Chain A
Amino acid sequence: MGNDYVVPAIVAVTLVTVGIGFYGLRLARTTSDFLVASRAISPTWNAAAIGGEYLSAASFLGIAGLVLKYGVDVLWYPVGFAAGYLALLLFVAAPLRRSGAFTLPDFCELRLGSRRLRILATAFVIFIGWLYLVPQLQGAGLTLATVAGSPYPVGALLVATVVTANVALGGMRAITFVQAFQYWLKLTALAVPAIFLVLQWQADARPAVTPPDGPAFRTATTVVVEHRATLTLPDGEIREVSPGDELTFAAGDPVPEVSGVATDASDWLLPSTAGDDDQGLFATYSLILATFLGTMGLPHVLVRFYTNPDGAAARRTTLVVLALVGVFYLLPTLYGVLGRIYTPQLLLSGQTDAVVVLLPGAALGDGLVGRLLAALVAAGAFAAFLSTSSGLLTSVAGVISTDVLGRGSVRGFRWATVIAGGVPAVLALNVSGLDVSQVVGLAFAVAASSFCPLLVLGIWWRGLTDLGAAAGVLVGGGAAIGAVLVTVLGPPLSGWPATLTAQPAAWTVPLAFTVMVAVSMATRRRAPADVAATMLRLHTPEALRM
């Protein structure tokens, strides 16, 4: 890739991020300074910060890649990622802020008064945080490899080191303005090129997204295969390709069919649930459940709610986040769709997650505009990676330093950051073949089967006991984790077992709720004595309290 604007753009984003972080630190040195500063921040700024932290590599790169590859079925990802904030708003936002809990383990101790449940919650926070960090690092490695030509591990490791150092030194510690800046940067980085892309599409006489004879190459293209695949060539010949193979196509050649990819127009264009595909329907509902209910259980999302002055503001902030995130998610779909026209070679090479980064160059050519827009998109992708992984790393390092290392010192926090950043970095090196969004989807499934029932029942049901909560988290969350491990590490499955493990939420979430309620009812006498006072605190407006 001969784009000399990309690397300066990425460096600039990193420097601005670190710069705003240090400027913010100078303004607020102590913890209470930080809190007071947060209270002076309007819901709009706060919401932009939450959105900035939330829109990860999966949103920025992954969704467009999935749309390119699978078509309409994966539109449930952006819808679910946005709807997660609605569930958070309806069931959690205001009471959680009123509880005064800062993290999920805090909430467990506050509501149920159990140290052991706190430890269990800590373990789950760490697991979910790591599971979510891996695809971020993976996305970073992929982006650097695509735009700067470095090998995948170099990118992932380099970026993991930058973020870990940054968080350990305190440069990114929950500075609202950095995250808010990243939101607007990400939105701009997708929206501005999108305008040019649509104009270009108009200028090219609106080529059909799904031409009757299947997708075709617009220009002469050489594809280097990255993943093993089975191709069906237009003349019916079947060919096995393995990583490193080079395939050359002339302009106008049809794209061969790739196994496991919706190359065929109707597969891509129409919902796979049509007809009697029970597994497709199950997987769709599972995905909906995981994303709708998983958002509230993500460690870096909850922490941010503490920066709201009161419960009513927490609600309004969540509504603004929903709007900001909703606006953003209109864009990745467009990239995936236009990718069918301008970058069909990604279907063959398997690097569909790169579509957002490559599309401006492919559609607009190597002119100045094309290169500048490609640099802008790369900068946005980098912002996505930086903000989400910094937020996640801060949350995970926070619980490791307080609940595992057991000391609240700055030194302890720095050691915790190194541990929290090191483990996912090692993991990221070994799973480069997985779709970024799919791994994130699994993290959502685990969060939805463990913390979602804990929060919802803890906030709305007086009968919840510590044993019930622990049993529900262990059984539901454990089942989801088992499914994740089988999917990521286990042998390839097919049929129903594959569906049940790849999209586990539809059975693990109800399981978690059922176990939690049943065990709580069986151990009714263990319900905390101060539950009435807790309910009062969670649900009554602040104006009425002492």
Chain B
Amino acid sequence: MAKRLPDVGPGGTAPPPRRTRIVLADITRQDSRAERTRTELAQQTQVGEALVRGLVRAQLALALRLSLVVAIGLGGLPWLFAIAPSLGRTTVAGVNLPWLLLGVASFPFLIGVGWAYVRLAERNEQDFTDLVQRPER
């Protein structure tokens, strides 16, 4: 990070050229449709603004819902052990339950929540893309 790297990301000025098979009719149609979307979003018309707000809200709601799942699933454990000390003495296959829950089970649980988030967030984005690319529907 010694220097600011030139922004060549998709949001920047020079995306790397990608080799694609070009069919003329196809690309004109896509272009005009995409063109309208871009203008809509870039000029920040009220419609574009409302669409972006909707997307942000949907993604935030999703993230908060899944955090709530983790907050209850994992965050509830210390409290649970506090109000039901006998739970700590319960053993499964010779191992005390808190050790199994924290040392082993918590990791697949976290990965599962993450996996669900990636799927649902991508679906939200797909819905958004469909919505702005086919406004006539």
Instruction: Pick from A94-102, A153-161, A363-371, A379-387 the stretch touching chain B.
Output: A94-102
- Scan B75-93; emit 1 where CB is below 8 A from any A CB, else 0: 1001101100100110000
Known: A87-B67, A312-B122. A539 touches B129 (CB 8 A): no
Q: B residues within 8 A CB of A274? A: 81-82, 85, 88
- Scan A531-546; emit 1 where CB is below 8 A from any B CB, else 0: 0110111011111111
Distance (Å) between the CB of B16 and the closest chain A CB? Answer: 7
A318 pairs with B1, CB closer than 8 A: no
Distance (Å) between the CB of B116 and the closest chain A CB? Answer: 10
B114 pairs with A413, CB closer than 8 A: no
- Scan B1-19; emit 1 where CB is below 8 A from any A CB, else 0: 1111111111110001000
B74 pairs with A79, CB closer than 8 A: yes
B10 pairs with A310, CB closer than 8 A: yes
- Scan A260-272; emit 1 where CB is below 8 A from any B CB, else 0: 0000000001110
A273 to B117, CA, bound (A): 31
B110 pairs with A82, CB closer than 8 A: yes
B3 pairs with A402, CB closer than 8 A: yes
State whether the Cβ of A494 lies closer than 8 Å to any Cβ in chain B.
no
Q: Which range holds the interface residue count of chain A?
A: 35 or more
Across the interface, name the chain B residue whose C-beta is closest to A91.
B63
State whether the Cβ of A66 lies closer than 8 Å to any Cβ in chain B.
no
A90 pairs with B63, CB closer than 8 A: yes
Q: A residues within 8 A CB of B125? A: 312, 540-541
Q: A residues within 8 A CB of B104? A: 330
State whether the Cβ of A118 lies closer than 8 Å to any Cβ in chain B.
no
> Which one of A79, A102, A539 lies within 8 Å of B55 (CB-CB)?
A539
B5 pairs with A72, CB closer than 8 A: no
Distance (Å) between the CB of A56 and the closest chain B CB? Answer: 18
- Scan B37-74; emit 1 where CB is below 8 A from any A CB, else 0: 11001101000110011011001100100110010001
Q: B residues within 8 A CB of A401? A: 2
Q: A residues within 8 A CB of B81? A: 271, 273-274
B41 pairs with A82, CB closer than 8 A: no
Best-surrounded residue of B3, B66, B67, B115 (most CB of chain A within 10 A):
B3
Best-surrounded residue of A90, A106, A416, A544 (most CB of chain B within 10 A):
A90
State whether the Cβ of A20 lies closer than 8 Å to any Cβ in chain B.
no
A539 pairs with B74, CB closer than 8 A: no
Distance (Å) between the CB of B36 and the closest chain A CB? Answer: 11
Distance (Å) between the CB of B35 and the closest chain A CB? Answer: 10
Across the interface, name the chain B residue whose C-beta is closest to A333.
B103
A270 to B101, CA, bound (A): 13
A545 pairs with B10, CB closer than 8 A: yes
Q: A residues within 8 A CB of B2? A: 397-398, 401-402, 408-410, 412-413, 416
Q: Which of A323-350 contact B (CB under 8 A)?
A: 323, 326-327, 329-330, 333
State whether the Cβ of A89 lies closer than 8 Å to any Cβ in chain B.
yes
Q: Which of B101-126 contact A (CB under 8 A)?
A: 102-104, 106-108, 110-111, 113-115, 117-118, 121-122, 125
Q: List 10 A-B contacts (CB under 8 A).
A: A75-B99, A79-B102, A270-B89, A273-B82, A284-B78, A309-B10, A310-B9, A310-B10, A315-B121, A409-B2
Beyond A32-B6, A86-B113, A275-B82, 5 extra complex contacts between A and B, CB < 8 Å = A31-B5, A312-B122, A315-B122, A402-B2, A532-B52
7 shortest interchain CB distances as A-B pairs: A398-B1, A326-B107, A274-B85, A413-B2, A75-B102, A408-B3, A542-B10
